[in-house]
Amino acid sequence: MASTALADWEKVDAAKPAVEVVSSQATYNSTSLFFDVWRLYMHAPLWVQVTILVFILALLGVILSDMVERKRNKTRLMQAYENWLTWPTMEEYIKRYPETRTKRGVVCKNCSSGYIRNTSFGGLALQRVVACKSCNETMYRLPV
Ligand SMILES: [Zn+2]
């Protein structure tokens, strides 16, 4: 029957073995993204390899130094907080040095100055102390 006969271009396509297509797809055997990237890296020129290596090492260095810095900063703040807690509150200060309670308010135990300033303590954000403006003596801590 004429309708089932193949045209010339169809015969050529039909002659191609289907296996060939499968095998050409199978030649690149990708098992994971890591090995793909590794293969790409190993086939790159030396200067590209060196540049990538230097970049990765620099990145690791920045991350590590940041971690160390954060740890050191946290330790310093913890120590500052513990140090802050050792200062008396205003009530404890007055109880310990009754002469500091006057009509014009709480005064410095060293120089009896009433000029005081509210100041930050050890780089802490919330914890503050009151210090004498005249002799710079820290007097007591303020409640948070
Ligand atoms: Zn003073």
DSSP string, 114-125: --EEEEE-TT-S
Q: Please, are residues 140 and 108 in contact by the beta-carbon 8 Å criterion?
A: no
Residue ranges of domains in the chain: 8-75, 87-141
The pTM of this model reads: 0.60
Q: How much distance in Å is there from the Cα of 137 to the middle of ligand 1? A: 6
pLDDT band at 13 (very low <50, low <70, confident <90, very high): low
Q: How much distance in Å is there from the Cα of 131 to the middle of ligand 1? A: 8
Beta bridge partners of 131: 117, 138
Compare 85 and 7 and report the one with higher pLDDT: 85
Q: State residue 118's pLDDT score.
A: 96
pLDDT digits (tens, 9 = 90+) for 46-63: 999 999 999 999 999 999
